[in-house]
Chain A
Amino acid sequence: MTKIVYVAADGTRTEIEAEDGTSVMQAAVSNDVEGIVGECGGSMACATCHVYVDDAWAGKVGERNPGEEDMLDCAASEMKPTSRLSCQIKVAPELDGLVVHMPEAQF
């Protein structure tokens, strides 16, 4: 299990022990974390799992996947350099303690 910290736009922090191999989106949805919708189930087709990776973790989550940037451009909240679709970040032991910030709106 790997700890993921979700920070809502209003600053509320939620810590989840996520199963390795799942996605940061799926862990949020399975644990009722408000602020991540993940309506398309992780197919990069809806941009409702948009997160800003905390600066301290930006280098560790890896690069955006092909097609991810086009979809981020369709997100409801502004795309920043740290923007990711959380369905594309796989939970793994090296991400223990990962902090992601959720945007104001997902649609």
Chain B
Amino acid sequence: MLKTLDRAPLDEIITFDQLVLDPYPIYKRLRAEAPVLRVKSVGRTFLTKAADTKRVKDDPVLFSSNDPNTPMQPAYRAHTLMRKDGPEHLAERMAMAPAYSPKTISNVWAPLYKELAEEYVGRLPRGEAVDLYADLCGPIAARILAHILGIPEATDKEMQDWSQILIDGAGNFAWRPEPFARTDLINDVIDRQVDRMAERLKAEPDSSALSFMINADNPIPMSQVYSNIKIAIGGGINEPRDALATIVYGLLTEPEQFEEVKRQENWGAVFEEGVRWVAPIQASSRLVTEDTEIRGFAIPKGDVVMTIQASANHDEELYDHPERFDVFRKKNPHQAFGSGPHHCAGAHIARRTVGQIMLPVLFDRFPSMTLPDPSVVQWRGFGFRGPINLPVVLN
């Protein structure tokens, strides 16, 4: 059958820089003209329609996460759960799950996070201009993560630095030596920190991911404990950080919605719309395990497809005016947390900490916050995306 089908068209024009700076107009065009497209600059087959991204994520046998030869391996010194399938992935994922469950969040983390949110928001100077991205979004995301992972002694700066170094290492597809030299250094630092805390948590267990992992009846190997903690550091700061910054930008540039949201206090819907509008994780890769077809194009075994959930979340088949931040959408079946077995393990945490704690605390203290000049806000990122500055005036 495959012989009769054509390969997906090949694009040689789209550049990586264009995707980093402003991918949405490109995705809009691809959804209309070439929803299955081999993009030379990225070396992947882009899927930009919601039905296709979901189908791929929901079929882990045909579209595998398993890719032992990624730069993630040296960067994390492990074959991590992100790049595994089946029972092995499930065991490592479920080892952390109790720490991230709604029950644990309500009983343990929410009270602490409310306190932390008030402390971090309380430090911000009223009546002044601040960069909310650097002064709040990053640091509070780091603090929240340090606690839930079980390494609260790591500072906000350490957590953020480690996260960025791990991300840079995992994305080092050019296999340059410098990013791996940096990940080597922090791998040692993080592993030692984990060892120190593990000893303490064996004596005094708590509800952190590290504690659940090491105190389980049938614990996963220590090598995977290290790698799970690193995966969470590399993938647990920038998403809530970017979600928060994106949502604040959305609200401050839609004053009518902002007023209505403050009146209705529907922060849950605000959160969902923010992560739909600019998904913090925009794209994911899957390895094709058997010859198949998507939208009538041959997709051969060994090809790597990229699900562009950023684009799925703007699919005109599902959304009116998808390019607009609109809290009051009737339906919002976004794929910001992915789908399938690798569905974001931190989804409940993100919804509750950003949606139910950070947003109300922030706007309760600064209900008249403004963004004097939205045009100075810079957005960046192809794989991960969000604003990289957010100069607001706090009132």
Residues on A lying within 8 angstroms of B by beta carbon are 32, 39-46, 67, 70-71, 73-76, 107
Complex formed: what's the CA distance from A14 to B90 in Å? Answer: 34
Residues of B within 8 A of A74 (CB): 97-98, 100-103, 348
Residues of A within 8 A of B385 (CB): none
| B98 and A45 contact, CB distance less than 8 A | no
- Tell which of B98, B343, B345, B348 touches A76, judged by Cβ atoms closer than 8 Å: B348
Min distance, Cβ A69 to any Cβ of chain B, angstroms: 11
| A67 and B90 contact, CB distance less than 8 A | yes
Residues of B within 8 A of A32 (CB): 331
Residues of A within 8 A of B58 (CB): 41-43
Whether B25 is near chain A, meaning CB under 8 Å from some CB there, is no
| A107 and B103 contact, CB distance less than 8 A | no
- Tell which of A41, A71, A75, A107 touches B340, judged by Cβ atoms closer than 8 Å: A41
- CB-based nearest A residue for B355: A107
- Tell which of A39, A70, A75 touches B102, judged by Cβ atoms closer than 8 Å: A75
Whether B84 is near chain A, meaning CB under 8 Å from some CB there, is no
Given contacts A73-B101, A74-B97, contact A40 B340 (CB under 8 A): yes
Complex formed: what's the CA distance from A35 to B381 in Å? Answer: 34
Min distance, Cβ B110 to any Cβ of chain A, angstroms: 13
Min distance, Cβ B354 to any Cβ of chain A, angstroms: 13
| A41 and B102 contact, CB distance less than 8 A | no
Given contacts A73-B101, A73-B103, contact A43 B340 (CB under 8 A): yes
- CB-based nearest A residue for B104: A74
Given contacts A67-B90, A74-B348, A76-B348, contact A40 B343 (CB under 8 A): yes
Residues on B lying within 8 angstroms of A by beta carbon are 54, 57-58, 60, 90, 93-94, 97-98, 100-103, 331, 337-343, 345, 347-348, 351
Complex formed: what's the CA distance from A106 to B97 in Å? Answer: 16
Complex formed: what's the CA distance from A74 to B90 in Å? Answer: 14
- Tell which of A43, A70, A75 touches B343, judged by Cβ atoms closer than 8 Å: A43
Given contacts A41-B57, A43-B58, A107-B351, contact A73 B343 (CB under 8 A): no
Residue in A40, A45, A46 with the greatest tally of chain B CB atoms within 10 Å: A45
| A76 and B90 contact, CB distance less than 8 A | no
- CB-based nearest B residue for A75: B102
| A40 and B102 contact, CB distance less than 8 A | no
Residues of B within 8 A of A41 (CB): 54, 57-58, 339-340, 343
Residues of A within 8 A of B54 (CB): 41
Complex formed: what's the CA distance from A73 to B83 in Å? Answer: 25
Residues of A within 8 A of B342 (CB): 45
5 additional A-B residue pairs with CB within 8 Å, beyond A32-B331, A41-B54, A74-B348: A39-B339, A40-B343, A42-B58, A45-B345, A74-B101
Residues of A within 8 A of B340 (CB): 40-41, 43, 45
Given contacts A46-B343, A70-B94, contact A39 B337 (CB under 8 A): yes
Min distance, Cβ B162 to any Cβ of chain A, angstroms: 26
- CB-based nearest B residue for A73: B101
Min distance, Cβ A77 to any Cβ of chain B, angstroms: 8
Complex formed: what's the CA distance from A23 to B93 in Å? Answer: 24
Min distance, Cβ A94 to any Cβ of chain B, angstroms: 27
| B348 and A45 contact, CB distance less than 8 A | no
Residue in A39, A44, A67, A70 with the greatest tally of chain B CB atoms within 10 Å: A39
Residues of B within 8 A of A42 (CB): 58
Min distance, Cβ A8 to any Cβ of chain B, angstroms: 17
29 A-B pairs (CB sep. < 8 Å): A39-B339, A39-B343, A40-B338, A40-B339, A40-B340, A40-B341, A41-B57, A41-B58, A41-B339, A41-B343, A42-B58, A43-B341, A44-B341, A45-B93, A45-B341, A46-B347, A67-B90, A67-B94, A70-B94, A71-B97, A73-B101, A74-B98, A74-B101, A74-B103, A74-B348, A75-B101, A75-B102, A107-B347, A107-B351
Residues of A within 8 A of B348 (CB): 74, 76, 107
Min distance, Cβ B303 to any Cβ of chain A, angstroms: 22
Complex formed: what's the CA distance from A44 to B345 in Å? Answer: 11
Residues of A within 8 A of B103 (CB): 73-74
Residues of B within 8 A of A75 (CB): 101-102
